[in-house]
Amino acid sequence: MDQKGWCRCVPGVNALFNRATLNYNSFYVALCEPLLANYPETLQGVFKTLHAGKRYTAVSNIGRLLVLNACGGIYTDVDFLLPNEERKFPKNIDTILKVFGRCSKINFYLPAINLDGYCLVENQAAVLNPKNIGALNKLMRDMSRCMATNYEEIYLETANNAEYLASAENKRLERSMFTSPLHTKLMKAFGKRDFNRFNRVNTDIFKNQTSKGFMLDSFGEIEENPPMLKNGMRHYSYEVSGRLTYGIVVQYFEAHLGKVSAEKYITEYWSKFRQFFAVKSLDEQFQFVDDQGQRQGMYSWANPGFSRLSKLENAANLMKGRFLSKNKMVKKMLLLEFVDGAKNVKFGRLETKNSKQNREMGLKLLTDVIKKRNRYYLRVEDAKNLLCKFLGIAFIRIGVGGHTNMGNYAVKAINEAHFKDLRVLIDPDKAQLSYDDLEAAAHINRGARG
């Protein structure tokens, strides 16, 4: 990167950019400092504190807002919104933003999914109509005001994070091949996706590490004489900085949705936006299940054990996938994601109360069956059988004629590039499948009543 090349090279945008080249691809990198100068000094100070303490997630949460508010457009993590090679990408951003209509008062949008019955809003991506540049000014002022009130807690949490990252236990874990007894226990908990067990083992690994200074308890209150760690999440607490960077953004987004419900936003707006991209499923970070059966998020940046094990698993799965692809195996997570998407589909007008309950129960039972399959990959016969069971649920007719809403979802989803391996199970010779193709696979006769 040319150190002297910072300039205002984007018309209409008051920000400094520099062109960087990586693997023959060009990127324009924004300089944060001049953008920060437009906001209260508290935000500038907290930004520097977080950066110095290696709290890079919070730094990124702030940085993406600075650029988005100055430039408008679409922000994405590098592994979230990927090109959809199945369709031509629009040249004009207005074509993309049309899918949102006017569901937000300030044309500000975040990704959302339905997770076990509640709406989860994330910030791996963020969208702001370029016509609304500056619409996040109030958000940044609110964030700065809250940070001023909680500055001491932010500082202490960040200091503890830096201390934790520098610990000997952390460094050993980052190099581990999980052959030692304690690390083997962590690997087994990871393999079973057992959230509580994983955290208990984490506690044992870090049991000799206490904070040299202040520490926050589980309620975010300061402890002057912190005891040994009490749970597996305590040593990488993110409560304060997460609430004041990610949490406050989600609240701001939801406040400007107006009368649009979370469910309607997911099914009618965000789902249409997703069509322009090959979107990473947010479900992937919620594979762990706690003692109450609720899915919990695990983040690589917050947990070196999870990060290390995920990298090793991905490498192993890549090699395994190349080997197993010759034997035509199918990823279990593809089926889970496909079935899970149907939970957001609205039922038709002819649905009765009993039929709704039957469909919902059918989806839940099918999800449980798939999850109980111990292997990462499924044999073709098993995967096809499970897929057809789902289609049987999706294509049950309540009246005579017409298409079911869930059937329409199945057709639309399975024709996405992401679900190519599922499409092959139905008909390997067709690039795209029709409603009739899937209905035939479900062995449902036209006009049959459910």
What is the reported pLDDT for 323? 56
The per-residue pLDDT for 149 is 93
Lowest mean pLDDT among 183-187, 234-238, 399-403, 444-448: 444-448
Sequence-ordered list of residues with C-beta below 8 angstroms from that of 420, at least 6 positions apart, any chain: none
Quick one: average pLDDT of 71-88? Answer: 85
Q: What confidence category does residue 218 fall into, taking pLDDT thresholds of 50, 70 and 90? A: very low
Residue 345 domain-assigned (yes or no) = yes
Residue 354 counted as domain residue: yes
What confidence tens digit (pLDDT) does each residue in 91-112 have? 889 999 999 998 999 999 999 9
382 vs 319 pLDDT, higher one:
382
Joined together, the tokens standing for residue 270 give 């965000």
Pairwise CA distance, residues 414 & 411, whole Å:
6
Q: Is the pLDDT of residue 378 over 90?
A: no
Any domain includes 223: no
Distance CA 183, CA 312 (A): 14
Q: Read off the pLDDT of residues 135-167 as tens digits, 9 standing for 90 and up.
A: 999 999 999 999 999 998 888 888 878 878 888
Of 28, 61, 30, 376, nearest to 247 by C-alpha is 61
Contact of 97 with 107, CB cutoff 8 Å = yes
pLDDT(327) > 60: no
Percent of the chain residues topping a pLDDT of 70: 83
**CA dihedral over 53, 58, 59, 62, signed as positive or negative:** negative
CA pair distance 16, 11, nearest whole angstrom: 11
Q: What is the pLDDT of residue 229?
A: 41
User: Over the chain, what is the mean pLDDT?
Assistant: 81
Most confident of the ranges 9-23, 286-300, 396-410: 286-300
150/136 Cα distance (integer angstroms): 21
Asked whether the predicted pLDDT for residue 256 surpasses 90, the reply is yes
Task: Identify the pLDDT of residue 76.
Answer: 92
In this prediction the pTM is 0.69
Assigned token pair, 95: 């074509």
Please answer whether residues 135 and 108 qualify as being in contact, where contact means their C-beta atoms are separated by less than 8 angstroms: yes
- Domain annotation covers residue 417: yes
In the predicted structure, residue 223 carries a pLDDT above the cut 70: no
| pLDDT above 90 (res 125) | yes
What pLDDT, on the 0 to 100 scale, is given for residue 300? 80
Residue 349: per-residue pLDDT: 66
Q: Does residue 192 belong to any structural domain of this protein?
A: no
Q: Is residue 338 part of a domain?
A: yes
1 falls in which pLDDT band (50, 70, 90)? Answer: very low
Say which amino acid occupies 423. R
Given a cut of 60, whether residue 393 has pLDDT beyond it is yes
Q: Nearest-CA neighbor of 110 among 282, 254, 247? A: 254
Query: How many domains, in total, are found in the chain?
Result: 1
Least Cα distance to 224 among 234, 239, 237, 213 occurs for 213
How confident is the model over 160-182, as a mean pLDDT? 86
Asked if residue 278 belongs to a domain, the reply is no
**Predicted pLDDT of residue 94:** 92
Mean pLDDT, to the nearest integer, of 390-406? 73
Least confident span in 226-240, 344-358, 370-384 = 226-240
Higher pLDDT, 191 or 10: 191
pLDDT of residue 227: 45
The residue-averaged pLDDT of 316-329 equals 62
More reliable by pLDDT, 215 or 125: 125
Beta carbons of 334 and 422 less than 8 angstroms apart: yes
Q: Which residue has the higher pLDDT, 288 or 108?
A: 108
Residue 194 belongs to a domain: no
State which residues form the domain around 346.
Answer: 328-450
Mean pLDDT of 427-434: 88
